[in-house]
Amino acid sequence: MNELLLGLADDELVLGWRESEWTGIAPMLEEDVAFSSIAQNEIGHARAVYQLLTDDADALAFDRRPEEYRCAPLVELRRLEWAPTIARRWLYELADQVRIEHLMRDEDSRVAGLAAKIDREEAYHRMHAEMWHARLAGEPRFEAAVAELWPYALGVLPEQQRPELAARANRPRDEVSQAVERGAHSDDLQALWEEMTSVRRSVPGAAW
């Protein structure tokens, strides 16, 4: 299986899950709507990519053990505070854009076509991230969150794409060696996995 695509789909699924945790409790109604909509769309992207990889997207999404997921640690972290939430949104969209732009040039036309559609949709997620970045840049809590999450953001991308991310995030290139790599998982994934897979584990093959 294509590890790069599986990583992309797992990132979108797990981040969509994390962002849906703001549904009902975001600091303002507009952000409640925004995070719910972004989460829904990220999970839609995960579904579309899983469907490229397998005939049974639900099985791939929900029937693996936690250690079998290929998501980057960035998307697993549970940070129900606004500064790290926005810092992650902004960093993730920057990294995801680099990755999607590469996939739009993939030799497999199905991959390139899907990446182009995802890119058109992600444009709206990027606008939201840019808007919040413009508001919060320079604020100490936001900057501290960006600094903490930066090595995690680098880990979203394969090594050769990291200098491009550093350029777009306006960070020094020599930091790219600090990446928190994909493969190992943070402790936060276990609880997310237990909740996310609870229906499928109690009723094998369940669809909803």
Partner 1 sequence: MVTAEAVWHALAEIPDPEIPVVSLVELGVVRDVEVDGARVRVEFTPTFLGCPALETMRAQMATAIERLGAEPEIEVVADDSWSTDKITPAGREKLREAGFAPPAPREASAPKLVQLQSKVFRCPYCGSTETRLENIFGPTPCRSLRYCESCRQPFEQFKTI
Taking the complex as a whole, the smallest distance from the CB of residue 170 to partner 1 amounts, in Å, to 18
* Nearest CB to partner 1, comparing residues 117 and 168: 117
* Nearest CB to partner 1, comparing residues 82 and 150: 82
Taking the complex as a whole, the smallest distance from the CB of residue 173 to partner 1 amounts, in Å, to 26
Taking the complex as a whole, the smallest distance from the CB of residue 30 to partner 1 amounts, in Å, to 5
φ, ψ dihedrals at 182, nearest 5°: -70, 145
Nearest Cα residue to 112 out of 124, 103, 120, 121? 103
Question: What number of residues does the chain have?
Answer: 208
Binding site for partner 1 (CB under 8 A): 30, 33-34, 36-38, 40-45, 47-48, 51, 110, 113-114, 116-121, 123-124, 127-128, 130-131
| 190-36-110 Cα angle (round to 5) | 80
Taking the complex as a whole, the smallest distance from the CB of residue 62 to partner 1 amounts, in Å, to 16
Q: How far is CA 69 from CA 102, 104, 111, 126, 139, in A?
A: 22, 24, 20, 25, 34
